[in-house]
C-alpha cells in the first residue's frame, strides 16, 4: 500500500515539475507580448479584440467586420465559461473524494474527540493565518496561475504523505504544512472566475459544478469504501488519482491578465489604505463577523456529523448517500442564487444560514439510524450553496480596486479559517466530555439565540438608517457587473 502511494506521489511531482517549467516559459512569452501590444482596460471584456475603426470608416465590409469581432468576443466568453465549469467540477471531485472522510479516518484510528477537534482545527486556523498573505502576494505580483499550480500540486503530495504514520503529532504537522500550501487555491479560483464573468451574479451558476463535483466524488468514494478492504485509507488513493487530471485542467484554466500598477490615484487605494477603508464600513464588518459565526457552526458540525453517523451504525455507503443528497440540493440553489440574493439581501441569507444550522444540529442529535440525517444533509446543500454564492459576490462587490483576491481570501479565512478552527476545537472538547448528542443540542441552542440577536440588530439598524443612506447589505441590479 505504501509503495503504491509513493509511486503516485512521484508521478504527480514529475508531472508538476515538467508542466510548471513549460508554464513559466509561456508566461514570460505572454508577458512580452502584453508589453508590446498594451493591456486592455478593465471595462472591456478581458479577451476581446479591438475592431479596426479605419476599416469600418472606409466602408466595404464594415458590418462583416463588426459581426466577426462580436462573434469572436462571444466565443471567447463561452470558452471561459466552459473552462470555469470544468475547473470547478474536477477540483471539487478531488476534494469531495477525501475531505468528508478525514474526521471519520481520525475516528477509525481510535483518536479521542479532542484530538479529532484539534486536527480539524489545524487546517482552518492555518488557512486564516496564511491565506491573507497569499492573497496580498498574488494581488501585488499578479502571478495567480503559477501560485495556483504550485500550491495545488504540493498540497496534494503532502496530503498523501499523511498515511505514512498514525502518530497524532505527525498528523498535526502534516495537516499544518498541507493547509499552508493549500490556503490560496480556493480564493484564487473564485477570484479568477469572478474577474472573467460579465455578469457577477452568475457566479453561482459556475459554482454549482463544484457542488456537483463534491457530491460525485464523496458519494462514489463512499460506495467504494463499503466494498474495499482498504477502509478509510481508500479516499487518499482516489484523491491522488483524481488530482492528476485536475492539475492539467487547472494548467489550461485562464486567469485574468496582469493589471497595470501605477502610482496615480485612479489606480485605486493601496493594500493598507484598502483595509483602512473596510474597517470604516460597518456593513462590511458585520458581514465578516456573520461569516465567522457561520464558520464556527460549520467547524463543529462538519467534524462530528459523520462521527455521529458512525455511532449509530453508519458505513461509508451511508456517508456517500448523504453527501450525494447534499450536493443534489445545492445545485438548483447555486443556479438561482444570484436572483435570490438580489431579492432577499445579504443579511437575510446569512441569518437564514445560521437558522439552518440550528435545525441541522437538532436533526443530528435526534437521529437513530444512519440515514436519519438525510433531511439535515439536504438542508446543508441548499443553504450552503446560497450562502457561499452570496458571500462571494458581496465580498467581491465591496472590495477596493486591486484587492478582490485579498478580500475573497480574507472571507475564506474568516469562514474556513478562524471560524471553523474555533468550532472544531470547542466541538472536540465538548464532544469528549458530554458526547456527540449533547454537543449538537448545545450547538442548536447557540445558533437559535444568535439568529434572534442578529435579526433584532438588523431590524433596528434598518429602521434608524437615514433616507440618503444605502440599504443594509443589499446587492442591487446595478451592481451586477461588479466593481
* pLDDT of amino acid 196: 75
Contact in structure between 212 and 332 (CB atoms under 8 Å): no
Output the pLDDT for position 120: 84
Give residue 268's pLDDT band: very low, low, confident or very high (50, 70, 90). very low
375 pLDDT higher than 60: yes
- 228-240 pLDDT, tens digit per residue, is 888 888 999 999 9
Q: At what angle do helices 113-141 and 144-160 cross, to 10 degrees?
A: 160
Q: Work out the average pLDDT over 450-455.
A: 90
Of the pLDDT bands very low, low, confident and very high (cuts 50, 70, 90), residue 467 is very low
Quick: pLDDT tens for 276-312.
Answer: 766 777 878 888 888 999 999 998 988 888 888 888 8
**Residue-level pLDDT at 10:** 56
Question: pLDDT tens digits, residue range 164-182?
Answer: 989 999 999 999 999 899 8
Return the ∠ at Cα 12 (arms to 11 and 16), rounded to 5°.
Answer: 120
Query: What does the alpha-carbon distance between residue 385 and residue 392 come to, in Å, rounded to a whole number?
Result: 11
pLDDT for residue 67 is more than 90: no
Q: Is the pLDDT of residue 258 over 80?
A: no
pLDDT single digits (tens) 72-96: 556 676 777 888 888 889 999 999 8
Classify domain 2-17+80-256+274-462 by CATH architecture: Up-down Bundle (1.20)
Higher pLDDT, 212 or 38: 212
> Is pLDDT larger for residue 60 or for residue 97?
97
Find, among 139, 391, 375, 146, the residue nearest to 289 by Cα: 391
Confidence of residue 12 (pLDDT cuts 50, 70, 90): low
CA distance 119 to 421: 9
Q: What are the pLDDT digits (tens) for 193-203?
A: 777 777 766 77
Residue 116 has pLDDT above 60, yes or no: yes
Q: What is the mean pLDDT of the chain?
A: 76
Cell of 179: 493547509
What's the CA angle centered on 24, arms 22 and 28, to 5 degrees? 120
| pTM for the model | 0.64
Q: Is pLDDT of 327 > 70?
A: yes
Amino acid at each position: 500500500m505504501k509503495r503504491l502511494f509513493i509511486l503516485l506521489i512521484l508521478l504527480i511531482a514529475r508531472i508538476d515539475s515538467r508542466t510548471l517549467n513549460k508554464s513559466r516559459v509561456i508566461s514570460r512569452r505572454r508577458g512580452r507580448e502584453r508589453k508590446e501590444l498594451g493591456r486592455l482596460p478593465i471595462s472591456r471584456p478581458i479577451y476581446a479584440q479591438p475592431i479596426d475603426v479605419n476599416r469600418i470608416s472606409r466602408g466595404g465590409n464594415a458590418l462583416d467586420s463588426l459581426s466577426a469581432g462580436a462573434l469572436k468576443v462571444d466565443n471567447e466568453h463561452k470558452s471561459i465559461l466552459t473552462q470555469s465549469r470544468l475547473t470547478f467540477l474536477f477540483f471539487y471531485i478531488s476534494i469531495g473524494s477525501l475531505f468528508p472522510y478525514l474526521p471519520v479516518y481520525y475516528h477509525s484510528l481510535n483518536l479521542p474527540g479532542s484530538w479529532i477537534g484539534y486536527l480539524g482545527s489545524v487546517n482552518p486556523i492555518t488557512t486564516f493565518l496564511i491565506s491573507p498573505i497569499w492573497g496580498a502576494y498574488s494581488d501585488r505580483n499578479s502571478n495567480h496561475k503559477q501560485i495556483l499550480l504550485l500550491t495545488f500540486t504540493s498540497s496534494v503530495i503532502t496530503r498523501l504523505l499523511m498515511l505514512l504514520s498514525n502518530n497524532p503529532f505527525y498528523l498535526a504537522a502534516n495537516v499544518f504544512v498541507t493547509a499552508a500550501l493549500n490556503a490560496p487555491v480556493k480564493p484564487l479560483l473564485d477570484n479568477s472566475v469572478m474577474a472573467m464573468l460579465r455578469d457577477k451574479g452568475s457566479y453561482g451558476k459556475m459554482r454549482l459544478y463544484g457542488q456537483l463535483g463534491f457530491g460525485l466524488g464523496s458519494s462514489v468514494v463512499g460506495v467504494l469504501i463499503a466494498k474495499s478492504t482498504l477502509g478509510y485509507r481508500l479516499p487518499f488513493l482516489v484523491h491522488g488519482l483524481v488530482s492528476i487530471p485536475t492539475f492539467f485542467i487547472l494548467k489550461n484554466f485562464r486567469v485574468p491578465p496582469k493589471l497595470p500598477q501605477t502610482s496615480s490615484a485612479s489606480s485605486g487605494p493601496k493594500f493598507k489604505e484598502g483595509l483602512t477603508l473596510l474597517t470604516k464600513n460597518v456593513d462590511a464588518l458585520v458581514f465578516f463577523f456573520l461569516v465567522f459565526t457561520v464558520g464556527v457552526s460549520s467547524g463543529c458540525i462538519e467534524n462530528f456529523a459523520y462521527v455521529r453517523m458512525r455511532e449509530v451504525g453508519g458505513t461509508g455507503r451511508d456517508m456517500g448517500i448523504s453527501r450525494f443528497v447534499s450536493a443534489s440540493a445545492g445545485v438548483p440553489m447555486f443556479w438561482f442564487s444570484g436572483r435570490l440574493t438580489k431579492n432577499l439581501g445579504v443579511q437575510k441569507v446569512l441569518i437564514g444560514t445560521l437558522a439552518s444550522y440550528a435545525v441541522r444540529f437538532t436533526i443530528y442529535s435526534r437521529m437513530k439510524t444512519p440515514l436519519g440525517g438525510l433531511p439535515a444533509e439536504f438542508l446543508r446543500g441548499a443553504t450552503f450553496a446560497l450562502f457561499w454564492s452570496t458571500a462571494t459576490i458581496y465580498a467581491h462587490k465591496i472590495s477596493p480596486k486591486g484587492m478582490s483576491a485579498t478580500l475573497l481570501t480574507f472571507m475564506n479565512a474568516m469562514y474556513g479559517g478562524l471560524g471553523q478552527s474555533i468550532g472544531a476545537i470547542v466541538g472536540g472538547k465538548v464532544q469528549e466530555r458530554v458526547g456527540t448528542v449533547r454537543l449538537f443540542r448545545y450547538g442548536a441552542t447557540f445558533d437559535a439565540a444568535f439568529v434572534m440577536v442578529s435579526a433584532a440588530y438588523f431590524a433596528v439598524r434598518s429602521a434608524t438608517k437615514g433616507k440618503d443612506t444605502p440599504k443594509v447589505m443589499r446587492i442591487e441590479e446595478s451592481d451586477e457587473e461588479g466593481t
